[in-house]
Amino acid sequence: MFRIFCRLLLRLSGWKLDSNLPKDIHKSIVIAAPHTSNWDFWYMILSFGIYGLRIRFTVKKEWMRFPFNLIMRPLGGIAIDRSPRKDGNRPSLVEAMVDLFNANEELIIVITPEGTRSRQTAWKTGFFHVAQNAHVPILLGYVDYEKKTAGIGKKVMPTTYQETMKEIMEFYRNIHPRFPEKFALDQSFL
């Protein structure tokens, strides 16, 4: 029923779903890019609802306290301790996410490597290290406002950092964000 509801909402908004979803995805990192608008989250939720995949995302542990947890947990939030590390008393974000993959049979975590809706010329690299260390694929999720299409465009298995980032940047080169002035690809990989 939820899939039908999501399909209807996506269609009513004039958007369509990319049907390029790889088979048998049980564990993966999903890049959500470009990320220039709060509307990106809406189209992502609808797309994954149609795919029938339960996505998760990490948030600061403070966002998982009452009353925010009433919204964040059902949406897929996973609490992560982001307090400053002191003498290695907690795992890094990458280590914590690798541990999550190792502890779960099925886990799909969405990450926005730009880190913000503002223009960033360099993407954060944690998603690559998590995928490589957890031995999971990177799915290239996107919202293309020109084509009014959202979904998964490609599956990338991490190899070297340089090769993987080049493949990822090449894919996003032809994706049109809502606010183009806020989106930048790392030109060193193009």
pLDDT in tens, 117-169: 667 777 888 999 999 999 999 999 999 999 999 999 999 999 999 999 999 99
Q: Residue 57 forms beta bridges with which residues?
A: 77
Q: Which of 135, 138, 110, 113 is nearest to 123 (CA)?
A: 113
What average pLDDT does this structure show over 15-23? 89
Residue 20: band (very low, low, confident or very high) from pLDDT cuts 50, 70, 90: confident
Give the C-alpha separation, 79 to 63, whole Å: 8
Q: Which of 164, 147, 136 is nearest to 56 (CA)?
A: 136
10 Å CB burial of residue 9 (0-12, 13-18, 19+) is middle
pLDDT band of 112, cuts 50, 70, 90: confident
Question: How is the chain split into domains, by residue range?
Answer: 1-31+140-154+164-179, 60-104
Of 96-100, 138-142, 183-187, give the lowest mean pLDDT range.
183-187
In this predicted structure, the answer to whether residue 105 has a pLDDT above a threshold of 90 is: yes
12 against 93, higher pLDDT = 12
Question: Where residue 190 falls among pLDDT bands split at 50, 70, 90?
Answer: low
Point out the least confidently predicted range of 88-97, 102-111, 161-170: 88-97
Q: What would the 3-class secondary structure string for the chain be?
A: CHHHHHHHHHHHCCCEEECCCCCCCCEEEEEEECCCCCHHHHHHHHHHHHHCCCCEEEEEHHHHCCCCHHHHHHHCEEEECCCCCCCCCCCCHHHHHHHHHHHCCCEEEEECCCCCCCCCCCCCCHHHHHHHHHCCCEEEEEEECCCCEEEEEEEECCCCHHHHHHHHHHHHCCCCCCCHHHCCCCHHHC
Q: What is the pLDDT of residue 88?
A: 66
**Span 113-119, mean pLDDT?**
70
Give just the sign of the alpha carbon dihedral 116, 164, 47, 77: negative
Is residue 169 a contact partner of residue 27, using CB atoms and an 8 Å limit? no
Mean pLDDT of 92-114: 90
Residue 136's pLDDT is what?
97
Average pLDDT, whole number, for the chain? 88
